[in-house]
Structure formats: structure tokens, C-alpha cells
Structure 1
């Protein structure tokens, strides 16, 4: 169920409403045989709107929306009455959703706040009735305008998970176990590659009622930037994180090389990711003695904060929270 319940990208055909036509009409009643123009304007076509909803974490509810078609505006009527606007369609999406045009790949809308509403595809403008074309020299205009067409095309909604901290590491580095210890989240944990195939979010309770959000992201493999493994689908979610926590197991054959591979995959995918704040955590440290720790420390970059921890024994878990909070609240240089 984990895989089917998390949908982070959907493709949908969208069409906003056509604007209603203005009309040509002249006032006629039992008291007025030759009245002036009174043709009303057409109504606006319906918009397609995206609205942020913090209670959503997946695009699953939109998966079966194959066509999103907004209502057309109504044509104007006599007595200068404007036609009714087409009904807008509002699509609720999780925070971090980006809307793109499928053909060009251009980002059109981005939703980051709860309750934020943005018009994605505006409806066509209604046409003007003949009243608008009356002039001193043309008291009986015969001209009116048709409504403008709406916009249409195949679109893509793409979710990038919003979290303060992203856990980065190879499969089986202990990310899911760490998340379960630091938060109330209950990710699937097992001793085989890609146990985590979708992002898992958890809130870390810190001191004095403060908290921050941490995401266990699917494991990187070498070549992820080229689409291997979970590839781009995973790396997309890293772009949102303020801090990247690199988790390297204590029993790794080469800690420095493992870290460099992880950083290289991020750089290959998007060099801007290297400007984020990094922390290195050596997991499963309960199996290390002091001499082994010193040897591992010598391999690690001196300009990146690091910490040894154990999710099994809770060793340095609170210190890990303190370090994350400090880095999250320190402006990047």
C-alpha cells in the first residue's frame, strides 16, 4: 500500500472556460419603439485554480482526473445584463506542488502555503456587447464581440516534499530507523535495499515546544542523477530541504568515498544543491570503539559538522536534534 498511496506526479488535460459572447440588442418595449443599444457583455470563462492544503501529502486524490474542464461563461443578454461567469474549478494540492506545461516543461504555478490560491489556467474574457460601441456618431452600433477562448493543454503536477531536513544516504544506511527514533513516524524498516520507496515525513519535537520537519527520502545509488534506481524521482524531493543530513553507516568500507559519491550524485542532478547546509552522521556507532571513531573522523571533511550516533541505543540522538536545530537557525554563509 505504501507505493500506491504516494503519488508525486500526475499528468492531466486541462481546459479553462471559453468567455461568453457579448450580444447585439436594441431596447424594444411597448413604450420604446426605437431604443438604443442595450446588449450585455459575456461572462468570463471559468478559471482552473490550485489551492494549497496542508492536510494533503500526496497527489493521489487527483490521480483519476484525466480531464479538468472548466465551465464556459454565459453570453450577455438584453437590458445591459452581463452573462454569468463560468464556474471555477479549484484543485486542492499538497504544499510543495509545482504545475508545469508538459510540452515546454515551464513552471507555471508553485504552491507553498496552506490556503494559498493561484489561478493556473485563466478563463477566457467575455466579449463586449454592442452597448460598449455606442458613440455620438454611431448611436446604433451593430457590432459586438465573441468571447475569448480559454487555455488548454496537457499539464503536469509535480510534488516536491517540504521538509526542513532531508535524510540522504545509500539504501540500508539506517535512515528509516533514525526517523522512527527521532519522530512519531513509523516508516517501513527492513534489511534490504529500497525499503523506503516514497518519502516519509516526521515532526521532531525539540525543546520548549519547538519542532522541525524531517524527511526520510529513498536511498541514493550511484548513478541516481542519471535516473538509475529511484533516480530523479527521489532527487526532486531533496531540492526543498534546508539541511541535508548525510547518514553513513559505521560499517561502511570507505566513509569518505561514500560521502563523495552521495555529493557527486547531488551535483550531477542540480549543482545548486551543494549550496545547502550539510551535516554528516555516522550511524550504527554502538559497534565502534574510540580508536575506530578517531580513524573515521580523520576521513571526514573538516568543514562539515559531523556526529556519531546510534538509533538502537539512542546514543547522541538528543545531541543530533541540538545540532540540527542550531544549523537550521544559522543563516547559510
Structure 2
């Protein structure tokens, strides 16, 4: 114990102070180097797919172009977007559900027409039902957009498409209904080639409406008509209410939403990459900061022992150099970008579609 005490007594305080000042300077330089390396990696991320990349700059310009176009149209129509905001996947899910519901009802007639396997009839019947629903959706959208508030005129192309769509739908459903009633009565298999000829002959002989109303007397034909007519009406209503009454305003909103999703996706990808780089350097920065603080405490202890005044370095907090420290604590920085927007329905109705700048 006496030897240890004599050993400590022989330590020169000024030498000890110089040693710890050198150590502090070393840890400070190490910390600065880590910050520089991290800054370089973040810069490379920006160049690759961040704000300095061509793809990001292009997405930003595209968003700004559609944003300005949307604001210009809104200034003319003087109202927010007026539509039922339905995600595309929801529409396709509903369309597929309706098609699957209609397929078994229509299958009987396609069995006669195709004379193939059950699977083939089901597939053709489902495809036919989907085409009917898509046509109904198109007709509903065109009915919604017959008048243009922006251009103050009738959109004749939409009016013509809507009328043709409704006429084609009525004819196709009527043909299915008449054919179902005819072949429920045990008519001979016509085959694909003569199916429409056979039905057309019946219509020519008895008249279109007479043949249709007569077909309603058959329960199977009436069920077929009801299911198909109901599916078409639902698809038309979805097409009608899921679009804005003004064609130009509706297209502008769709383009802006697409540009916004693209920019938000890039922002989220960049934010995640940035957070990954920050987390990568956090342990080394924390260690260097701890070593710096320990050395600084020793320096303060030695200066107090030598009655020397403390300077600005002794009061310096190394962590203040790290301006990204708070972001390093975030689990997912990307959520600060993409997740900061309003819910889709509120964004659409308020015509306030904006990504985080």
C-alpha cells in the first residue's frame, strides 16, 4: 500500500493533464472523422436515389407540373374533387366478385354455344361477365362526365360512348336472357356458329320486345336477367360516382395522385436508406463521444487540482456536432414522410394532395 501511495505521488499532474488533453483531441478527431464518413455515405445515397438523383428530380418535377395543372383547373371549377374515392384494387375485387356470381348463371348458355368442358364454359362465362362489367363501368363514367365545367360545353364523345355502351349492354343481356329461355325449353344444340343466328331468327319472327318479355316467363332466364342486370347497374354506379363530373378535373386528379404516390415512394425509400446509414454509425459515434467525455472529465479534475481556469474546450459537448442524433433514434424515418399525409379520402375531398417536401 505504501509503495502504491508513493507511486501515485510521483505522478506529475501536468503530465497527466497533457496525456488526457491528447486523448481528448484524439477522440474529437475520431468523432469528426466518423461524422465525415457518414456525411459522405449520406451524400452517395442522395446521388443514388435521393433528392440529388435524376429519378427523384424527375418525380419532383412531374409532381409539380401536375400540382400546378390541378390548381389551375380547380381555380376554374371552384370546388374540391367530387367523387367516391375507391382504390383500384377494391373495384377489381368487386368486379371479380360480381363476375364470379354471374358466371354460373350464364354458364348454361355457354355450354350450348361452346360445347366444351365445364372449366372452359366457366372461364368463358367469367371473362364475358368481366367484359360486361368493364363496359358498364365505362358507360357510368361517361354518363358522369357529359358536361364539362372547365370548358363549359357538352363532351359529345362521352355522350356517344355512354349511349353506345348502354345500348350494347342492353342488347347483350337481352340476348343472354332470350337464349337462356329458348334452350331451357330443350332446343337443339346450336353450336357457337349458329347460336346468334338462331336467336336472331326468333327475334325477327316474334319481335325483340316480345321475345324478351316471353323469356321472362322462364324462371332460369329471369334469374339470369336479374343477376346480370344487377351486376351491370352496380358497375355503372361505381363508374358514375367514383369519378368527378368534370373530365379534365378528374384526369388531373388521377395524374396528381399517381405523381404523388411515385414521389412518396421515392421519399420513403430514401428516408429508409438514410436512416440505415445513420444507425450504422451510431454505435461508433456513441463510443467516441463517451471516450471524449471521460477524457474531458479527467482534464477538469486535473485543472481543478492545479487551480487552472477551465476554457471553452472543457465545456464543449461533443454530441452537439451530431445534428442527426434524434433521427438515429427513429425506428423508421420513412414514416415521417409518407405517413405524414392526410388519409386518402380526406386528401381527395379536400383537393390537398401533397407529399412532404
Q: In which range does the TM-score fall when normalised by the shorter chain?
A: under 0.3
Normalising to structure 1: TM-score of the pair?
Answer: 0.20
TM-score (norm 2): 0.19
Q: Which has the higher helix share?
A: 2
By percentage of residues, which structure has more strand? Answer: 1
- Answer with 1 or 2: which has the greater Rg: 2
| Higher relative contact order (Cα pairs below 8 Å, separated by 6+ residues) | 2
